[in-house]
Amino acid sequence: MKTTNILSLFILLSGLLFITNCNKEDEGPTQEEINIENIVEDASIDVYSAAIHLLELADWPQENDVGIDPADFQIMNYTKEDLGNNLMHYYFEVSVGTHDQDKIGLHRVVKQSNDQPIKTEKTFFFQHGDLKNFVGMLLPANYSPSTSDDFGFGLYLAKNDVDVWGMDQAWCMADETTTDFSYMQGYGLNKSSKDLRTGMAIARIARYLTGNKLDKMLLACYSSGVSTGYALLNTETQLDNSVQNVKAYIPIDLPVISDDGPLGEYVTGDTQVNADAIAAGKYESALFFK
């Protein structure tokens, strides 16, 4: 009798286990996997393959799989910089166009644990303004020998467990040997905001693939970058929530509406100067400092 009962129980448990496994196999994709597929379809470049190649270059273990086969994608000039105190600065250049100089610089400053970026729900994405780039704004000690090595907003945030990302816009990526800037003819606010969305999408996917949540990010933009940020937000208001990248916005050092007369005159005059330069076939201006 006991043997019969034990055998019956074993058969029952085996059946339940089989049903459970079948149900798991029948489960569809998770909402995050669906959102990634939507982000990939919405993006102007293959942001999923770009994120996968970031993981490979930086040796970040992949923990989440969304069932998408990555394509070949070239990430250029990868560097990894030890900032001390278990903080690391990762840098990648991502092609966003057909010209070899049409690329964005993608940065990540993050605390390390066991030689890998920590998992954290706190994220921050930074967009620079005119005459500046990510390092000049968030890691100024890299450029200034008189500045303490532990000084910088990026370091402060990373020390406090914030996963800090940001990018260098394509218009500040031309190297010193470039003399023909005609490839910049179509550059403008539309391209800058589109490239900013590209950078944020890659960052979010890379974070998810390495075990973080696919959360939207806090976006902070400085100076002329503020206009780029507002253009991005304007675009995202017309998009489904699943492909929006920004959860909160911090505009820094640029008023959008002002009754300051001299400021208005300056902006109007500067607009005309740039319009005249473009009409004359001049698409670049000097980058005086970083």
Residue 18 CA to residue 43 CA, distance in Å, equals 40
Residue 118 CA to residue 111 CA, distance in Å, equals 6
More confident residue, 99 or 18: 99
Categorize the per-residue pLDDT at 286 as very low, low, confident or very high, splitting at 50, 70 and 90: confident
Q: Do residues 159 and 111 touch, judged by C-beta distance below 8 A?
A: yes
Fold exhibited by the domain 2-279? Rossmann fold (3.40.50)
Position 256 scores a pLDDT of: 81
pTM of the entire structure? 0.88
Q: What is the mean pLDDT of the chain?
A: 90
Residue 59 CA to residue 55 CA, distance in Å, equals 6
Residue 180 CA to residue 173 CA, distance in Å, equals 13
> Tokens representing 90?
């990762």
Position 19 scores a pLDDT of: 45
CA 227 centroid distance within chain: 18
| Nearest CA-CA partner of 86 in 158, 166, 154, 157 | 158
12-34: average pLDDT: 59
pLDDT one-digit tens code per residue, 137-181? 999 988 888 888 889 999 999 999 999 999 999 999 988 899 999
* DSSP code of residue 142: G
pLDDT at 21 over 70: no
Position 285 scores a pLDDT of: 82
Q: Do residues 224 and 127 touch, judged by C-beta distance below 8 A?
A: no
pLDDT at 41 over 70: yes
Write down the domain spans for the chain: 2-279
Backbone conformation region of residue 20, classed left if phi is above 0, alpha if psi is from -120 to 50, else beta: alpha
pLDDT one-digit tens code per residue, 217-250? 999 999 999 999 999 999 999 999 999 999 999 9
51-79: average pLDDT: 96
Which amino acid belongs to residue 92?
Answer: F
Q: 153 CB contacts (<8 Å, ≥6 apart)?
A: 137, 138
Residue 128 CA to residue 275 CA, distance in Å, equals 22
42-48: average pLDDT: 95
CA distances from 87 to 42, 58, 68, 74 (A): 33, 14, 31, 26
